[in-house]
Amino acid sequence: MTARFPAPFARRSLGALAIALAGFTGSAQAQERDMLNVSYDIARELYAALNPVFIENWAEETGETLTIEQSHAGSSKQARAILQGLKADLVTFNQVLDVQVLADNGFVDEDWQQDLPNNASPYYSLPAFLVRGGNPKDIQGWDDLIREDVSIVFPNPKTSGNARYTYLAAYAYALDKFEGDDAAAQDFVGKMLGNVAVFDTGGRGATTSFVERGIGDVLITFEAEVENIRAAEDEGAYERVVPSVSLLAEFPMALVRKVAEERGTTDVAEAYLNFLYSTEAQEIIASFNNRVHDPEVVEATADQFPEVRLITVEDVFGSWAEAQETHFADGGTLDQVFRN
Amino acid sequence: MAKPILIALALMFLAAMVLLPVVAIFDRAFAEGAGAYLAAIRDPETLAAIRLTIIAAMIVVPVNIVFGVAAAWLVARYRFWGRRALLILIELPFAMSPIVAGLCFLLIYGAYGPVGAALEPYGIQLMFNLIGIVLVSLFVTCPFVMREILPVLQVTGEAEEKAALTLGANGWQMFRHVVLPNISWGLAYGTVLTMARAMGEFGAVSVVSGAIRGRTMTLPLQIELLYNDYNATGAFAAATVLTLLALVTLVLRSVLNRFGPNREAHA
């Protein structure tokens, strides 16, 4: 069996074991630094494209060889793991509340959202629609989602952060449409939830229901996801529809100061976060269908992103914490709408 | 008349529930050709996951062999206060959901747990690395070896062992020449089960892994991750490796069954 592996395999195995053992005795004297970016579940390819660029830039500037390790899972699970001792030097999440939890526990600076531009969110996205090729049900906006002949797929807002954005986007749209009439907005969202064919627990399950099982006329998820799914399937099989109004979805990041100081990585972790705002990085981020702020890149990629008016959670619901409390807590608005 | 019907029913059930899914794994893994399959297997992160899975199993299996033999011996040969409680305690991992087990380990050995917090000042970290993965794997597999050996020890009784001691054997000689031959098949069988479970465990490992790519991702975690990344070929290619590892242990098991004495008794 071993003969079939190239010789370096065995050596690397021993190396890995040695590193693992050194890691827990704390005796490793690192000549080169390594850094751990703890991130949300669907960002792997994005950071796999960004990290080599930063590593090269850093080596040119300082001569130091960096290793950037990535961890990807649901961002609430990741936040919890960091609280329990996962040594993250920085976090790149898709939920503001999950960074806030780290701030509340002293892992992240209290004013982390002001430390970096655009609410510490180098890129953003929004809930958009994926419809079947040719858009047979002619779905153009939120109003079409409450039509009786339209069947919708998106995950359960109780378990999926992605679906919370969809729910809040629809709610914000309805409040806007009915000029702040809360009862009318609840009625609107209730009708929309009534059209949902299947509530999967997460984004991936919803995608499977829509693409592989052929359920529903429209899948609602982040615009970047819509484009990534479209790219992975046959050309023309699906179309993207961006509604005229949607909700701003931020991707907040922060230095985990408590860990970075302990591991002596504060300077490089901060440089990494700033790098994400550079034109070079923003180009890469935009190529993964996320919207960015860099004016140069915005202009160059204007064709890629249809115009949309974005409402923020803060504008409509006060804050994420308040939205969580009012809408998603047990007995909240979501539960009431579900019941009706 | 009843026999052919039963055979047909059993075969149909097995084909639908066992054979088909296994075939599907290989079918999907090779859907984009052998080249894509090989490239997926040779992905550095997948190789790292295979390596970590094997390293963890190589630590878990010997530890559980030593613990299982010692525990079975203790329970079979001695009567003491708390013996029944010990038996129940050893079997607890069978009954407990792996995800609960993982959470318990975090509570105790995580940075805020009593043990984790005590070790933290010395720079010793138990969770989110190889140690954490080994610890929870030990937990979920600890009943296997003991459960396989205990009935054998109880059946053989201690007459032969006492005879050996009377004839002047020391403890080790008695164990080596009398006990070990008796329990060897049970021991091998328990080892195989431990190995299969240690390599395949998902829930408990998922909680304590930290999901650091190329470092703390075991094969089952890597498979789920690749699948969630819309990388079906990568996921199923990795799944074939895990399936093959499992098949090796299964073949080992059936070989043991064939040559082992009295396996029908409790297999």
Q: Sheet with A249-250: list strands edge to edge.
A: A249-250, A123-125, A291-292
Domain regions of chain A by residue span:
32-123+250-303, 127-247+308-339
Which residues 6+ apart lie within 8 Å of A238 measured at CB? A130, A131, A132, A133, A211, A229, A230
For the stretch A289-299, pLDDT in tens is: 999 999 999 99
CB contact residues (below 8 A), chain B span 190-229, against chain A: 210-216, 225, 227-229
pLDDT the model gives residue B261:
54
Residue B260: the pLDDT is: 59
pLDDT reported for residue B66: 95
Mutate to test the interface with B, among A1, A2, A40, A71 (most CBs of B within 10 A): A71
CA distance B249 to B195: 8
| C-alpha span between B169 and B235 (Å, rounded) | 54
Say how many C-beta atoms besides its own lie within 10 A of residue A74's C-beta: 21
Instruction: State the average pLDDT over residues A57-73.
Output: 93
For position A157, what pLDDT does the model report?
A: 86
Least confident of A25-29, A263-267, A315-319, B122-126: A25-29
User: Nearest C-alpha of chain A: how many angstroms from B180?
Assistant: 28
Contacts (Cβ under 8 Å, ≥6 apart) of B115:
B108, B109, B126
Rg (C-alpha) for chain A, rounded Å, is: 22
DSSP alpha helix (H) spans, chain A: 7-25, 44-62, 75-83, 96-104, 112-115, 117-120, 161-177, 182-194, 203-207, 223-232, 257-263, 266-275, 279-287, 295-300, 313-317, 320-323, 333-339
Q: What angle do CA A81, A86, A89 make, to 5 degrees?
A: 120
**Nearest-by-Cβ selection for A85 from B128, B225, B230:** B128
Residue given tokens 């999967």 in the structure block = A200
Q: Do A16 and B210 touch (CB under 8 A)?
A: no
Q: Give Cα A205 distance to the centre of its chain.
A: 16
Q: Is the pLDDT of residue A10 over 70?
A: no
Cβ distance of A16 and B129 shorter than 8 Å: no
pLDDT tens profile A272-291? 999 999 999 999 999 999 99
Phi, psi of A223 (to 5 degrees): -55, -40
Residue A26 vs residue B187, higher pLDDT: B187
| C-alpha distance from A66 to closest chain B C-alpha (Å) | 16
The H or E element that residue B47 is part of is helix B44-77
Q: Is the pLDDT of residue A331 over 90?
A: no
* 178-217 of A, contacting B, C-beta below 8 A: 204
CATH 3.40.190.10 matches A32-123+250-303: yes
What's residue A14's pLDDT? 46
Q: Residue B45: name the closest of A30, A163, A246, A44 by CA.
A: A44
Instruction: Assign B123 to helix, strand or coil.
Output: coil
- Mean pLDDT in residue range A315-328: 90
Q: Tell me which residue in B116, B120, B213 faces A70 most closely, judged by beta carbons.
A: B213
Coil, helix or strand for B169?
coil
Q: What is the pLDDT of residue B248?
A: 85
Count how many Cα atoms sit within 13 Å of the Cα of residue A308 in the half-sphere of its side chain: 29
Pick from B55, B112, B129: which is nearest to A23 by CB? B129
Cα(B92)–Cα(A284) distance, integer angstroms: 50
Which one-letter DSSP state was computed for residue A240? E
* Distance to chain A for B245, nearest Cα, Å: 12
> Cβ contacts (< 8 Å) between A78 and chain B: which residues?
211
Which residues in chain B are closer than 8 Å to A41, comparing Cβ atoms? 228
Q: What is the CATH topology of the domain spanning A127-247+308-339?
A: D-Maltodextrin-Binding Protein; domain 2 (3.40.190)
Phi, psi of B112 (to 5 degrees): -100, 0
The answer to whether B145 and B65 have CB atoms below 8 angstroms apart is yes
Distance CA B152, CA B161 (A): 14
* Tokens found for residue B243: 């399936």
pLDDT at A184 over 70: yes
Instruction: Please indicate whether the domains covering A32-123+250-303 and A127-247+308-339 agree at the CATH topology level.
Output: yes
DSSP A128: E
Amino acid symbol at B22: V
pLDDT at A339 > cutoff 90 = no
Across chain A, what does the average pLDDT equal? 88
Quickly name the fold that domain B33-265 has.
Answer: MetI-like fold (1.10.3720)
The model carries a pTM of 0.81
Decide: B204 and B136 in contact? Cβ < 8 Å. Answer: yes
What is the Cα–Cα distance from B211 to B55, expressed in whole angstroms? Answer: 17
Closest to B194 measured CA to CA, from B106, B63, B49: B63
Q: Give the model's confidence band at A340: pLDDT under 50 very low, under 70 low, under 90 confident, else very high.
A: low
Residue with structure tokens 């408990």? B204
pLDDT at A271: 96
CA distance A24 to A76: 26
Which pLDDT band holds residue A8 (cuts at 50, 70, 90)?
very low
Per the CB < 8 A criterion, the answer to whether A175 and A186 are in contact is: no
Closest to B236 in 3D by CA, of B4, B33, B92: B33
Helices A44-62 and A266-275: crossing angle, nearest 10°? 120
Per domain, the residue ranges of chain B are: 33-265
3-state secondary structure of B84: helix
Report which secondary-structure segment, H or E, holds B86. Answer: helix B83-95
3-class secondary structure, A319: coil
Predicted local confidence at residue A274, as pLDDT: 96
For A26, nearest residue in chain B (alpha carbons) = B123
Q: Is the pLDDT reported for residue A68 higher than 70?
A: yes
Place of tokens 């190589």: B58
- Please report the pLDDT score of residue B229 as a whole number: 76
Question: Tokens standing for A281?
Answer: 């990085």
What is the mean pLDDT for each group of 10 consecutive residues in chain B (267 residues)?
90 92 93 93 94 96 95 92 91 92 93 89 91 96 94 89 89 88 89 93 93 93 86 92 88 74 45
**Structure tokens belonging to residue A268:** 């490089």
Tell me: the pLDDT tens digits for A225-238?
899 889 888 889 99
Distance between CA atoms of A10 and B54, rounded to whole angstroms? 12
Q: Return phi, psi of residue A156, to 5°.
A: -75, 120
Q: Note whether A16 contacts B: Cβ–Cβ < 8 A.
A: yes
A17: confidence class by pLDDT, cuts 50, 70, 90: very low
Task: Give the phi and the psi of residue B116 in degrees, each rounded to 5.
Answer: -60, -45
A237 touching B (Cβ < 8 Å): no
From chain A, the residues in CB contact with B120 under 8 A are: 85
Rounded Cα–Cα distance for residues A175 and A146 (Å): 15
**Contact (CB<8Å) A42/B228:** yes
- How many other C-beta atoms can be found within 10 angstroms of the C-beta atom of residue A201? 13
Report yes or no: A103 and A110 within 8 Å, Cβ to Cβ.
yes
